Amino acid sequence: MEIDDIELKSNLFLAPMAGVTDFAFRSLSREFGAGFSYTEMVSSKGLIYSKNNDIYEKMLYTLPNESPVAVQLFGNEPDIMALACKHPLLQKFDCIDINMGCPAPKIIKNGEGSALLKNFKLAEQIVKICVKESNKPITVKMRTGFETGSNVSLELGKILEEAGASAICLHGRTREQFYSGEVNYEAIAKLKSALKIPVIGNGNVVDVPSYNKMLETGCDAVMIGRGALGKPWIFSTLNPETTKADIEINKKEVITKHIKLLKQVYPERFIVTHMRKHLLWYVKDIPCASQLRLKLCRIESIKEALTYINEIF
């Protein structure tokens, strides 16, 4: 598929996830077959007004094997969003995605993320000005609606397409559902049928059956979020072109490489605290590892982490 002139070799996308999809995790996912990936969401206001560029330089660090890659912005002020689109740190990205789906209370409180589902006019203004001021494709990630049972995706999707969006990713849940409950596959199918631009389906894709179910909507690509936590190789398991031999996974090697990649940018103290959650995800399905998981919660050094990983594997 293509997003404007960006040619993508796979219809499997890694979702933007706060605190997760840094350059290391994205790079691993791309090695395992993800065709496109996104940074964790970046505050447009923070990017413009921050006096500490080091934070954003690290957050927006990329590796060569990530190309093409998108940056995701969040905000609710059209002029600030437009300025952010032109920020020097964003020029290396192939695409700019606008977050209209984050359900976090602190984001909603500021009228950002999923709150834009209740303000069509503002959502339209943001997309219009970002398209006008940026030389990159502008895409949107959104949910079906705000309240449980609501569905504004078709109406808003048409508005955003008209405003110039190059693709829309629809998470088939409302804001109030957060990440639980049934996915509204019908809403994704209807949006795909109504729009000319690509539609990416998102929500609860964790294995081959759920992947195939999402494809039945007719969506152009499938975005995977929580299904990739501790399993960046999920993209290999879903790719019909890979064989069983291709997806033999050495988890110990993957974890070691994850840590090694992070060391290119971050100090040990950050890596230790950051990797605790990742390590727990990596060992989640391993039987009889409860005591070692408890130890992983308390690691104080990279050496200690690798020692426990050696024990587990």
Instruction: Show which residues are catalytic.
Output: 102
- Report helix, strand or coil for 222: strand
Six-digit token pair at 129?
Answer: 């000005």
Residues in CB range of 220: below 8 A, 6 or more apart: 1, 11, 167, 192, 198, 199, 200
Cα–Cα dist 147/246, whole Å: 43
Paired strand residues for 14: 37, 224
- Report helix, strand or coil for 62: coil
Q: Do residues 194 and 158 make contact, with C-beta atoms less than 8 angstroms apart?
A: yes
